[in-house]
């Protein structure tokens, strides 16, 4: 019933709309009681009375590089960069593209494993089941 109205909105608003409902859905999935869901969603929108505290500043600063990478990754720039890189590598031969993909996968595996090992607390939802 909202399809036609949402189609007329700018892409940025459509993305915010989607992000809002994805976050709310994860909150609903994460908690076991309706009271906890209501309290958490209320706190997300300021009912707790505090916008930011020392813990928020710590988390923001400790994840600043990650936030910067994620902001850049959410733009069209990486797609354009890798498209141009692929065109250049295809001109020189396909084997370099294979080697680059393999190396990138290995580096990502090492980085994510290092991050998981470093994190003392893992709030990953499925570890609770």
Give per-residue pLDDT as tens, 54-91: 788 888 888 898 899 999 999 999 999 988 888 887 77
Q: What residues contact 31, with CB distance under 8 A and at least 6 apart? A: 37, 40
Structure tokens at 6: 């949402």
Rounded to two decimals, what is the model's pTM? 0.51
Domain count, the chain: 1
Residues in the chain where the model's pLDDT stays below 50 = none
- Taking every pair of Cα atoms in the chain, the longest distance, rounded to a whole number of angstroms, is 60
* Residue 121 belongs to a domain: yes
Domain that holds residue 108: 75-129
* Residue 22 belongs to a domain: no
Per the CB < 8 A criterion, the answer to whether 118 and 110 are in contact is: no
* Residue 82 belongs to a domain: yes
- pLDDT score, position 72: 93
């Amino acid at each position: 019933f909202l399809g036609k109205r949402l189609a007329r909105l700018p892409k940025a608003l459509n993305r915010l709309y989607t992000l809002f409902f994805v976050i709310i859905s994860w909150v609903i999935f994460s908690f076991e009681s309706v009271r906890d869901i209501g309290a958490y969603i209320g706190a997300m929108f300021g009912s707790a009375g505090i916008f930011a505290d020392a813990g928020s500043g710590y988390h923001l600063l400790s994840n600043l590089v990650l936030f910067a990478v994620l902001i850049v990754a959410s733009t069209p720039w990486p797609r354009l960069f890798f498209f141009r890189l692929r065109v250049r590598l295809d001109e020189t031969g396909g084997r370099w593209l294979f080697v680059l993909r393999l190396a990138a996968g290995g580096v990502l595996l090492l980085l994510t494993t290092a991050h998981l090992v470093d994190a003392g607390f893992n709030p990953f939802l499925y570890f609770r089941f």
